[in-house]
Structure 1
Amino acid sequence: MPNSLLETRENRLGALLKDWRARLDPVALGFSAARRRTPGLRREEVAGRAAISPTWYTWLEQGRGGAPSADVLDRIAHALMLTDAERERVFLLGLGRPPEALYRADRTVTPRLQRVLDALDPSPALIRTATWDVVAWNRAATVILTDYAAVPADQRNILRLIFLNPRARAAQADWQSVARTVVAAFRLDAIRAGADGAIAPLVEDLRRLSPEFAAMWQEADTPGHEPGDGTKQITHPVLGPVTLEHSTFAVDGRQDLAMIVYNPTDATVRDRLAAIIAEKMPDPAA
């Protein structure tokens, strides 16, 4: 039996490391396929890719040698080509904590995730990045929020729309409150995802183009938390005043993405929205 919780973690970690190296193709990574008794990479090959001692890596798989450092775990995760979710699991098993935020400017949304958005119609839903760029949406979001497809890709940013788009601004029942909440939540999101450096060009651009944003960004009393759930009121050109409940959800394995789902509180509005989608909106797959 293991002597400690740490040893238990290391043994579980070792089993996962062995499984993950077994799935890699040696030839694709520049290694010879000759004289291999088992699939995948050898321990010494993983160690070489991670720039660590082969003996140390062997001990790690065997649950020996003590706790690894965060740097070693990060290099092993890179060597094994792990996903963000797998990298997090390595840290949880090896150190008992998640890794520090590692922001990647990846705007890719899988077809499966897009199908989830589409299935939520007539509830408007969208996917945004840690820098609040909108990278995917469903038809209901196009009807009730913004026709994102008509907005240039480099302008599909929630802060740009709130502060620089007259139509988006006019739709807000309480623009000042919405804008302050958005600025606070945006700042916190970027810090959480390790993207505080990545937002610098956007912040500088908004400060130059919007004195109101510049003032809110500098305010010392900007709220320091993000509400995951809430309610917002908008004025729609066809539906009139609309109240929407909204919730924000993490996207598993993608700490840089979040899904926001809106629900009209009035069943009549929801039915009318469904009718608009059915009658006027083309199939996004067409």
Structure 2
Amino acid sequence: MADLQRRRSLAEFLRSRRERLTPQEAGILAGPRRRTPGLRREEVAQLSGVSVTWYTWLEQARDITVSRQVLTSLARALMLSSVERRHLFALAGEPLPERPPGPGPGPALQRLVDALEPNPAYLLDANWDLVGWNRAEAALIGDPGQLEPAERNLLWLVFTDPAMRSLLADWSGQAQDLVAQFRADARQRSGDPRYEQLTGGLREASEEFRAWWAAHDIADFGSSRRTFHHPRAGALTFDYVKLAALDAPGIKLFACMPADAATTRKLPALQECAAGADPEGAAVGTAGADPEEADVGPVGAQ
């Protein structure tokens, strides 16, 4: 019964989109006499490259198979918006097409990250570049704003900053998990210049990344617990929560919530680091930098 209702909803949606589209908008010569509002079924079938019979069955809620390729053709023929296209795929029971990355986080999203203090929080884009963080995160890992833009990337910092190995407990296990998560998360990024630059640079810079990347392991992100050995605050354990920003495609927010009472008690020490008290204790320098001069450190793992 649920499947029948879904097919009926799909049929009604297609009919409504067909009837709202004029022949002129679709690039079709209308002719002198038209009783059908919008496009005819045969016109939609022709524009999308399917048979008139098959499309008619679709609008009649018949039990027929609809492929992703045909859905894409129908969306193009009916000039659907991105939200209408996702709705079409959902009604057809197909996985939703991934939304292309947007221009990045807006000011409101950064204000949300700031409002999460005293808990560390940060924003990653589709290539896991750091595009936002709060003062607590900067106090935990060093200020990413002091790095070159190309270096403000989670994987780059994990694999190229030697200080990360002492900051993160179980560096090897966590780093390997990150590689598997990144491969799954960035499966649509192949060919993107930034993606190719990042993965190519990491293969050259890190023997561990090169070996784990070649293994082609993949993993979904799940709520995870990470322990840090912070030079000022000591051992800190956080539960990571990942949220996708619906109004900023490709942007993910990571909030670090204290996993125990001891970590909660130590958050004021992180705030002191963020305020500039004892800058020598704020964690870790950049790879290759003089430890007495650098005050920037690696980024916390997912």
1:216: which partner in 2?
Answer: 212
Higher RCO, 1 or 2 (CA under 8 Å, sep at least 6)? 2
- Rg comparison, structure with higher value: 2
Q: Is 1:118 the equivalent of 2:96?
A: no
Report the equivalent of 2:10: 13
Structure 2 counterparts to residues 60-99 of structure 1, below 5 A = 63=61, 66=64, 68-77=66-75, 79-83=79-83, 86-94=84-92, 96-99=93-96
Sort the Cα spacing of 1:51 and 1:182 in 2 relative to 1 into closer, same or farther, 3 A. Answer: same
Contact preservation (8 Å) 1:128, 1:258: yes
- Give the aligned residue type for 1:245: D
Distance in 2 of aligned mates of 1:148 and 1:29: 49
Please, which of 116, 136, 143 is the counterpart of residue 132 of structure 2? Answer: 136
Structure 2 counterpart SS, 1:166 = coil
Offset of residue 29 of structure 1: 10
Instruction: Name the CA shift for 1:255/1:21 in 2 (closer, same or farther; >3 Å).
Output: farther
Once residues 122 and 95 of structure 2 are traced to their aligned partners in structure 1, the CA distance between those partners, rounded to angstroms, is 27
Matched, 1:239 2:237: no
TM-score normalised over the length of structure 2 = 0.66
The residue type equivalent to 2:115 in the other structure is: A
Give CA-to-partner distance per residue, 1:166-214, whole Å, 9 cap, x none: 34444223322222222222222223xx335544442222111222221
Indicate whether 1:258 and 2:252 are aligned: yes
Describe the shift of the 1:11–1:183 C-alpha distance in structure 2 as closer, same or farther (beyond 3 A): same
Query: Partner letter of residue 227 of structure 2?
Result: Q
Match of 2:198 in 1: 202
Q: Distance in 2 between matches of 1:29 and 1:111?
A: 38
Q: Is the 8 Å Cα contact of residues 124 and 139 (structure 1) preserved in structure 2?
A: yes
Gaps in structure 2 of 5+ consecutive residues: 29-36, 278-302
For structure 1, the residue ranges without an aligned partner over 5 or more in a row are 32-40, 282-286
Query: Is the contact between residue 68 and residue 94 of structure 2 (CA under 8 Å) also seen in structure 1?
Result: no
The residue identity in structure 2 corresponding to 1:189 is: D
The secondary structure found in structure 1 opposite 2:131 is strand
CA distance in 2, matches of 1:240, 1:22: 65
Root-mean-square deviation (Å): 4.2
Contact in 2 for aligned 1:43/1:57 (Cα 8 Å): no
TM-score, normalised with respect to structure 1? 0.69
Cα distance, 1:132 vs structure 2? 1.9
Runs of 4 or more, structure 1, over 6 Å off, are 18-24, 27-31, 53-59
Check 1:274–1:61 CA distance in 2 against 1; reply closer, same or farther (3 A cut): farther
